[in-house]
Amino acid sequence: MEIQEITQEVEKQNVVIRQVMAEVEKVIVGQKDLLERLMVGLLCDGHLLLEGLPGLAKTTAIRTLAAAIDVGFQRIQFTPDLLPADILGTQIFRPDTGQFVIRKGPIFNNIILADEINRAPAKVQSALLEAMSERQITLAGKCFELEKPFMVLATQNPIEQEGTYPLPEAQVDRFMLKINVTYPTEAQEKEIMNRVRQGVTENVCSAVSSQSIDEAKKAVQAVHMEEKITDYIISLVRATRDPAAYGLDSQNLIRYGASPRASIYLGAAARAHAFINGRAYVIPQDVKAMAPDVLRHRIMVSYEAEAEGIDSDQLIKTLLERIEVP
Protein backbone atom coordinates (compact mmCIF):
# COMPACT_ATOMS: atom_id res chain seq x y z
CA MET A 1 0.00 0.00 0.00
CA GLU A 2 1.36 3.41 -1.00
CA ILE A 3 1.94 6.07 1.67
CA GLN A 4 -0.80 8.26 0.13
CA GLU A 5 -3.33 5.43 0.47
CA ILE A 6 -2.25 4.79 4.07
CA THR A 7 -2.61 8.50 4.84
CA GLN A 8 -6.15 8.56 3.46
CA GLU A 9 -7.12 5.51 5.49
CA VAL A 10 -5.55 6.94 8.65
CA GLU A 11 -7.45 10.21 8.21
CA LYS A 12 -10.69 8.29 7.68
CA GLN A 13 -10.33 5.94 10.63
CA ASN A 14 -8.86 8.56 12.94
CA VAL A 15 -12.35 10.07 13.17
CA VAL A 16 -13.53 6.92 15.00
CA ILE A 17 -10.93 7.33 17.73
CA ARG A 18 -11.66 11.04 18.02
CA GLN A 19 -15.32 10.19 18.64
CA VAL A 20 -14.39 7.81 21.46
CA MET A 21 -12.01 10.34 23.01
CA ALA A 22 -14.65 13.07 22.82
CA GLU A 23 -17.08 10.91 24.79
CA VAL A 24 -14.47 10.03 27.41
CA GLU A 25 -13.48 13.70 27.74
CA LYS A 26 -17.05 14.51 28.80
CA VAL A 27 -16.19 12.81 32.07
CA ILE A 28 -12.41 12.91 32.41
CA VAL A 29 -10.86 16.35 32.82
CA GLY A 30 -7.28 16.74 31.60
CA GLN A 31 -5.30 13.46 31.73
CA LYS A 32 -4.52 13.73 27.99
CA ASP A 33 -1.68 11.21 28.24
CA LEU A 34 -3.93 8.73 30.04
CA LEU A 35 -6.65 9.01 27.39
CA GLU A 36 -4.12 8.59 24.56
CA ARG A 37 -2.73 5.47 26.16
CA LEU A 38 -6.19 4.01 26.65
CA MET A 39 -6.68 4.49 22.91
CA VAL A 40 -3.30 2.88 22.20
CA GLY A 41 -4.31 -0.17 24.22
CA LEU A 42 -7.66 -0.35 22.43
CA LEU A 43 -6.04 -0.12 18.98
CA CYS A 44 -3.34 -2.70 19.78
CA ASP A 45 -5.44 -5.23 21.73
CA GLY A 46 -3.12 -4.59 24.65
CA HIS A 47 -3.79 -4.96 28.37
CA LEU A 48 -3.14 -1.87 30.50
CA LEU A 49 -2.12 -1.43 34.12
CA LEU A 50 -3.02 1.91 35.73
CA GLU A 51 -1.23 2.79 38.95
CA GLY A 52 -2.03 5.73 41.18
CA LEU A 53 -3.36 6.76 44.55
CA PRO A 54 -7.08 6.27 45.30
CA GLY A 55 -9.46 8.90 43.92
CA LEU A 56 -7.58 9.79 40.71
CA ALA A 57 -10.34 8.57 38.35
CA LYS A 58 -8.59 5.37 37.24
CA THR A 59 -11.77 3.31 37.53
CA THR A 60 -13.91 6.12 36.12
CA ALA A 61 -11.71 6.48 33.02
CA ILE A 62 -11.94 2.76 32.21
CA ARG A 63 -15.67 2.57 32.85
CA THR A 64 -16.23 5.62 30.63
CA LEU A 65 -14.13 4.12 27.82
CA ALA A 66 -16.26 0.97 27.93
CA ALA A 67 -19.45 3.05 27.86
CA ALA A 68 -18.23 4.89 24.74
CA ILE A 69 -17.90 1.63 22.78
CA ASP A 70 -20.71 -0.80 22.03
CA VAL A 71 -19.07 -3.86 23.63
CA GLY A 72 -19.52 -6.04 26.71
CA PHE A 73 -18.06 -4.67 29.95
CA GLN A 74 -17.54 -6.20 33.38
CA ARG A 75 -16.02 -4.75 36.52
CA ILE A 76 -14.36 -7.20 38.93
CA GLN A 77 -13.49 -5.87 42.37
CA PHE A 78 -10.38 -7.68 43.59
CA THR A 79 -10.37 -8.45 47.31
CA PRO A 80 -8.24 -10.73 49.55
CA ASP A 81 -11.03 -13.35 49.74
CA LEU A 82 -11.65 -13.55 45.96
CA LEU A 83 -11.27 -17.01 44.38
CA PRO A 84 -10.20 -17.92 40.80
CA ALA A 85 -13.66 -19.41 40.18
CA ASP A 86 -15.19 -16.00 40.94
CA ILE A 87 -13.40 -14.69 37.84
CA LEU A 88 -13.27 -17.62 35.44
CA GLY A 89 -16.46 -19.49 36.30
CA THR A 90 -17.05 -22.98 37.59
CA GLN A 91 -18.80 -26.30 37.03
CA ILE A 92 -22.17 -26.70 38.78
CA PHE A 93 -24.47 -29.70 39.16
CA ARG A 94 -28.03 -29.48 37.81
CA PRO A 95 -30.29 -31.87 39.83
CA ASP A 96 -33.07 -31.64 37.24
CA THR A 97 -30.87 -33.07 34.47
CA GLY A 98 -28.35 -34.95 36.62
CA GLN A 99 -25.49 -33.29 34.71
CA PHE A 100 -22.71 -30.83 35.39
CA VAL A 101 -22.82 -27.58 33.40
CA ILE A 102 -20.35 -24.75 32.99
CA ARG A 103 -21.31 -21.41 34.50
CA LYS A 104 -19.07 -18.80 32.88
CA GLY A 105 -17.54 -16.10 35.03
CA PRO A 106 -17.27 -12.32 34.46
CA ILE A 107 -14.05 -12.76 32.45
CA PHE A 108 -16.25 -13.65 29.45
CA ASN A 109 -16.71 -10.03 28.36
CA ASN A 110 -14.90 -7.67 25.97
CA ILE A 111 -13.50 -5.11 28.40
CA ILE A 112 -12.60 -6.26 31.89
CA LEU A 113 -11.95 -3.75 34.66
CA ALA A 114 -9.79 -5.53 37.24
CA ASP A 115 -10.23 -2.97 40.00
CA GLU A 116 -7.45 -2.81 42.60
CA ILE A 117 -5.87 -5.95 41.17
CA ASN A 118 -3.11 -5.96 43.77
CA ARG A 119 -5.63 -6.35 46.61
CA ALA A 120 -5.98 -10.06 45.75
CA PRO A 121 -3.32 -12.75 46.41
CA ALA A 122 -1.15 -14.23 43.65
CA LYS A 123 -3.39 -17.29 43.15
CA VAL A 124 -6.24 -15.07 41.96
CA GLN A 125 -4.03 -12.73 39.94
CA SER A 126 -2.55 -15.73 38.14
CA ALA A 127 -6.05 -16.84 37.10
CA LEU A 128 -5.91 -14.05 34.53
CA LEU A 129 -2.71 -15.28 32.87
CA GLU A 130 -4.27 -17.63 30.31
CA ALA A 131 -6.97 -15.10 29.41
CA MET A 132 -4.46 -12.27 28.94
CA SER A 133 -1.92 -14.30 26.97
CA GLU A 134 -3.96 -16.82 24.98
CA ARG A 135 -7.36 -15.06 25.02
CA GLN A 136 -8.99 -18.28 26.07
CA ILE A 137 -10.16 -19.93 29.29
CA THR A 138 -9.90 -23.59 30.30
CA LEU A 139 -12.76 -24.81 32.50
CA ALA A 140 -13.33 -28.45 33.42
CA GLY A 141 -10.91 -29.56 30.70
CA LYS A 142 -12.64 -27.54 27.97
CA CYS A 143 -11.24 -24.51 26.15
CA PHE A 144 -13.44 -21.49 25.63
CA GLU A 145 -12.37 -18.74 23.24
CA LEU A 146 -12.89 -15.19 24.49
CA GLU A 147 -14.74 -12.73 22.30
CA LYS A 148 -12.90 -10.01 20.41
CA PRO A 149 -11.97 -7.38 21.36
CA PHE A 150 -10.70 -8.56 24.73
CA MET A 151 -8.85 -6.18 27.06
CA VAL A 152 -7.93 -6.34 30.72
CA LEU A 153 -7.68 -2.83 32.16
CA ALA A 154 -6.35 -3.16 35.69
CA THR A 155 -5.96 -0.55 38.38
CA GLN A 156 -3.69 -0.80 41.37
CA ASN A 157 -2.66 1.31 44.30
CA PRO A 158 1.07 1.79 44.93
CA ILE A 159 2.68 -1.31 46.42
CA GLU A 160 3.75 0.57 49.54
CA GLN A 161 0.09 1.02 50.50
CA GLU A 162 -1.05 -1.29 53.30
CA GLY A 163 -2.92 -4.47 52.29
CA THR A 164 -1.53 -4.92 48.77
CA TYR A 165 0.22 -7.84 47.06
CA PRO A 166 2.92 -7.42 44.37
CA LEU A 167 1.80 -8.77 40.99
CA PRO A 168 3.64 -11.90 39.75
CA GLU A 169 6.39 -10.92 37.31
CA ALA A 170 4.96 -13.21 34.61
CA GLN A 171 1.66 -11.35 34.78
CA VAL A 172 3.18 -7.87 34.87
CA ASP A 173 5.00 -8.64 31.61
CA ARG A 174 1.68 -9.39 29.90
CA PHE A 175 0.52 -5.82 30.37
CA MET A 176 1.34 -3.79 27.29
CA LEU A 177 1.57 -0.51 29.19
CA LYS A 178 1.92 0.56 32.80
CA ILE A 179 0.50 4.05 33.21
CA ASN A 180 1.21 6.27 36.21
CA VAL A 181 -1.83 8.42 37.05
CA THR A 182 -1.07 11.72 38.80
CA TYR A 183 -3.04 14.46 40.53
CA PRO A 184 -4.97 17.02 38.43
CA THR A 185 -3.98 20.69 38.35
CA GLU A 186 -5.86 23.29 40.40
CA ALA A 187 -7.92 24.42 37.39
CA GLN A 188 -8.70 20.83 36.42
CA GLU A 189 -9.84 19.98 39.94
CA LYS A 190 -12.21 22.95 39.90
CA GLU A 191 -13.64 21.77 36.56
CA ILE A 192 -14.09 18.26 37.98
CA MET A 193 -16.15 19.64 40.86
CA ASN A 194 -18.36 21.62 38.45
CA ARG A 195 -18.96 18.66 36.12
CA VAL A 196 -19.90 16.31 38.96
CA ARG A 197 -22.32 18.89 40.39
CA GLN A 198 -23.94 19.38 36.97
CA GLY A 199 -24.27 15.64 36.35
CA VAL A 200 -22.24 15.79 33.12
CA THR A 201 -20.49 12.55 34.03
CA GLU A 202 -23.66 10.55 33.35
CA ASN A 203 -24.13 11.68 29.73
CA VAL A 204 -21.76 9.23 27.99
CA CYS A 205 -23.23 7.28 25.07
CA SER A 206 -21.92 4.50 22.82
CA ALA A 207 -20.10 6.49 20.14
CA VAL A 208 -18.81 3.66 17.95
CA SER A 209 -19.28 -0.05 17.34
CA SER A 210 -16.72 -2.80 17.73
CA GLN A 211 -16.67 -3.16 13.92
CA SER A 212 -15.51 0.46 13.62
CA ILE A 213 -12.73 -0.22 16.10
CA ASP A 214 -11.67 -3.27 14.04
CA GLU A 215 -11.36 -1.08 10.94
CA ALA A 216 -9.26 1.42 12.87
CA LYS A 217 -6.99 -1.43 14.05
CA LYS A 218 -6.35 -2.43 10.44
CA ALA A 219 -5.36 1.15 9.63
CA VAL A 220 -2.93 1.15 12.58
CA GLN A 221 -1.27 -2.05 11.34
CA ALA A 222 -0.78 -0.39 7.95
CA VAL A 223 1.07 2.61 9.43
CA HIS A 224 4.55 2.68 7.87
CA MET A 225 7.66 2.13 9.98
CA GLU A 226 11.15 2.53 8.51
CA GLU A 227 13.69 -0.17 9.28
CA LYS A 228 15.87 2.37 11.08
CA ILE A 229 13.00 3.04 13.50
CA THR A 230 12.71 -0.72 14.12
CA ASP A 231 16.46 -0.84 14.80
CA TYR A 232 16.09 2.10 17.22
CA ILE A 233 13.39 0.21 19.16
CA ILE A 234 15.57 -2.89 19.35
CA SER A 235 18.53 -0.81 20.57
CA LEU A 236 16.44 0.73 23.35
CA VAL A 237 15.18 -2.65 24.55
CA ARG A 238 18.52 -4.44 24.30
CA ALA A 239 20.20 -1.59 26.18
CA THR A 240 18.09 -2.49 29.22
CA ARG A 241 19.69 -5.97 29.19
CA ASP A 242 23.28 -5.00 28.37
CA PRO A 243 23.83 -1.28 29.06
CA ALA A 244 27.62 -1.52 28.70
CA ALA A 245 27.30 -2.61 25.05
CA TYR A 246 25.62 0.73 24.33
CA GLY A 247 28.08 2.86 26.27
CA LEU A 248 25.90 3.20 29.38
CA ASP A 249 27.24 2.92 32.92
CA SER A 250 24.01 1.56 34.45
CA GLN A 251 25.04 -2.11 34.42
CA ASN A 252 24.95 -2.32 38.21
CA LEU A 253 21.58 -0.57 38.43
CA ILE A 254 19.53 -3.11 36.44
CA ARG A 255 18.88 -6.60 37.82
CA TYR A 256 17.25 -7.71 34.57
CA GLY A 257 16.00 -5.93 31.49
CA ALA A 258 12.96 -5.97 29.24
CA SER A 259 11.75 -9.12 27.48
CA PRO A 260 11.16 -9.41 23.70
CA ARG A 261 7.52 -8.49 24.42
CA ALA A 262 8.84 -4.97 25.00
CA SER A 263 10.11 -4.73 21.40
CA ILE A 264 6.83 -6.06 20.02
CA TYR A 265 4.68 -3.77 22.15
CA LEU A 266 6.85 -0.69 21.63
CA GLY A 267 6.61 -1.08 17.86
CA ALA A 268 2.83 -1.53 18.03
CA ALA A 269 2.41 1.37 20.46
CA ALA A 270 4.53 3.67 18.26
CA ARG A 271 2.30 2.88 15.27
CA ALA A 272 -0.83 3.55 17.32
CA HIS A 273 0.63 6.83 18.64
CA ALA A 274 1.37 7.95 15.09
CA PHE A 275 -2.17 6.98 14.04
CA ILE A 276 -3.78 8.92 16.91
CA ASN A 277 -1.77 11.97 15.88
CA GLY A 278 -2.97 11.64 12.29
CA ARG A 279 0.24 10.36 10.69
CA ALA A 280 0.65 7.39 8.36
CA TYR A 281 4.28 6.87 9.37
CA VAL A 282 6.23 6.47 12.60
CA ILE A 283 8.81 9.02 13.73
CA PRO A 284 11.33 8.65 16.60
CA GLN A 285 9.16 10.89 18.79
CA ASP A 286 6.41 8.26 18.70
CA VAL A 287 8.86 5.71 20.10
CA LYS A 288 10.12 8.15 22.75
CA ALA A 289 6.57 9.02 23.80
CA MET A 290 5.57 5.39 24.38
CA ALA A 291 8.87 3.95 25.69
CA PRO A 292 8.36 4.85 29.39
CA ASP A 293 4.93 3.21 29.58
CA VAL A 294 6.11 0.09 27.72
CA LEU A 295 9.38 -0.34 29.62
CA ARG A 296 8.83 0.88 33.19
CA HIS A 297 7.32 -2.39 34.48
CA ARG A 298 9.75 -4.58 32.53
CA ILE A 299 12.97 -3.24 34.05
CA MET A 300 13.82 -4.64 37.48
CA VAL A 301 16.20 -2.27 39.23
CA SER A 302 18.97 -3.65 41.46
CA TYR A 303 19.26 -3.23 45.21
CA GLU A 304 22.05 -0.75 44.53
CA ALA A 305 19.68 1.40 42.46
CA GLU A 306 17.02 1.23 45.17
CA ALA A 307 19.58 2.31 47.75
CA GLU A 308 20.45 5.32 45.59
CA GLY A 309 16.78 6.17 45.04
CA ILE A 310 16.91 5.37 41.30
CA ASP A 311 13.78 3.91 39.72
CA SER A 312 13.05 2.47 36.26
CA ASP A 313 11.69 5.79 34.96
CA GLN A 314 15.05 7.47 35.58
CA LEU A 315 16.88 4.66 33.82
CA ILE A 316 14.54 4.92 30.83
CA LYS A 317 15.10 8.68 30.68
CA THR A 318 18.84 8.05 30.49
CA LEU A 319 18.34 5.47 27.74
CA LEU A 320 16.30 7.89 25.65
CA GLU A 321 18.93 10.61 26.11
CA ARG A 322 21.95 8.42 25.31
CA ILE A 323 20.80 5.98 22.61
CA GLU A 324 21.34 7.53 19.19
CA VAL A 325 18.14 8.64 17.46
CA PRO A 326 17.85 7.79 13.74
DSSP three-state, residue 64: helix
Beta strands at 300-301 and 254-256: parallel, antiparallel or unpaired: antiparallel
Highest mean pLDDT among 136-145, 154-163, 185-194, 281-290: 281-290
The pLDDT value recorded for residue 1 is 64
pLDDT(257) > 80: yes
Q: Are residues 151 and 261 in the same domain?
A: no
Q: Are residues 203 and 230 in the same domain?
A: no
Q: pLDDT per residue over 13-56, tens digit each?
A: 888 888 888 878 777 777 778 888 888 998 898 899 988 877 77
Q: Are residues 233 and 201 in the same domain?
A: no
DSSP three-state, residue 298: coil
How many other CB atoms are there within 10 angstroms of residue 297's CB atom? Answer: 21
Q: Are residues 228 and 204 in the same domain?
A: no
Q: How does DSSP assign 73-140, residue by residue?
A: EEEEE--TT--HHHHHEEEEEETTTTEEEEEE-TTSSSEEEEETGGGS-HHHHGGGHHHHHHSEEEET
The pLDDT value recorded for residue 251 is 78
Highest mean pLDDT among 11-15, 54-58, 117-121, 282-286: 282-286
Does any domain span residue 185? yes
Average pLDDT over residues 203-227: 82
Does any domain span residue 263? yes
Residues of the chain above pLDDT 70, percent: 95
Q: Are residues 227 and 191 in the same domain?
A: no
Q: Are residues 66 and 175 in the same domain?
A: yes
Contact 155, 29 (CB under 8 A): no
Average pLDDT over residues 148-158: 85
Q: Are residues 130 and 272 in the same domain?
A: no
Among candidate residues 210, 237, 257, the one where a domain is terminated: 210
Average pLDDT over residues 158-172: 72
Lowest mean pLDDT among 29-33, 77-81, 114-118, 288-292: 29-33
Sheet with 151-156: strands ordered across? 73-77, 111-115, 151-156, 47-51, 175-180
Q: Are residues 41 and 124 in the same domain?
A: yes
The larger pLDDT score, comparing residue 197 to residue 204, is at 197
Domain hosting 183: range is 26-80+108-210
- C-alpha distances in Å from residue 65, one per residue of 68, 187, 280: 5, 23, 25
The burial class, CB within 10 Å (0-12 / 13-18 / 19+), for 264 is middle
User: CATH number for the domain including 304?
Assistant: 1.10.8.80
Q: Are residues 167 and 264 in the same domain?
A: no
Does any domain span residue 16? no
Name the H helices within 242-311: 260-276, 284-295, 303-307
pLDDT(149) > 60: yes
- Distance (Å, whole) CA 96 – CA 94: 6
- Look at the chain and report how many structural domains it folds into: 2
Q: Are residues 204 and 233 in the same domain?
A: no
pLDDT band (50, 70, 90) for residue 202? low
Q: Are residues 32 and 171 in the same domain?
A: yes
Q: pLDDT per residue over 46-84, tens digit each?
A: 899 988 877 777 777 888 888 888 788 888 888 888 888
Does any domain span residue 98? no
Does any domain span residue 9? no
Q: Are residues 172 and 311 in the same domain?
A: no
Lowest mean pLDDT among 118-132, 226-240, 253-267: 118-132
The pLDDT value recorded for residue 205 is 65
- Distance (Å, whole) CA 256 – CA 298: 8
Among candidate residues 176, 210, 244, the one where a domain is terminated: 210
Average pLDDT over residues 250-256: 82
Does any domain span residue 122? yes
The pLDDT value recorded for residue 273 is 94
User: CATH number for the domain including 48?
Assistant: 3.40.50.300
Does any domain span residue 218? no
pLDDT(163) > 70: no
Closest CA to 4 of 281, 228, 306: 281
Does any domain span residue 51? yes
